[in-house]
Amino acid sequence: MHLVEFTLSRPPASGQALPEQTLLDVLWSASRPGGGIEHIRVHPSRAGARGVVFCLAADGRQALLRVRSLCERAVNQAPALHGWRLTAVGPAGPDRA
């Protein structure tokens, strides 16, 4: 199990921050069976959102790739995240080097 951090940035003119539950729903909708995503925690802000994912993967590199793919699918497929972008993905907690 690996803990991976991510940051999503929203366009400056996109209005109010999205509710936490909306962001969670979008991220879970972008997950795939067998993708290793076990738990998602997200904190919305005026700038976008920061979060962490507990991911099952053979190693830290694979966990980073899985979370990157998850976030990119969410940003590219969800109308609620139109104009948003993934700005950071990296190890968190004990996986951080």
pTM higher than the cut 0.85? yes
What's the pLDDT at 15?
73
What is the biggest distance separating any 2 CA atoms in the chain, rounded to whole angstroms?
40
Task: Supply 23's token pair.
Answer: 């962001």
Number of domains in the chain: 1
Q: Give the angle subtended at the CA of 72 by the CAs of 66 and 77, to the nearest 5°.
A: 125
Domain residues for the domain of 45 are: 2-95
**Beta bridge partners of residue 55, listed in sequence order:** 2, 37
Which pLDDT tens digit goes with each residue over 34-76?
889 999 999 998 899 999 999 999 999 999 999 999 999 999 9
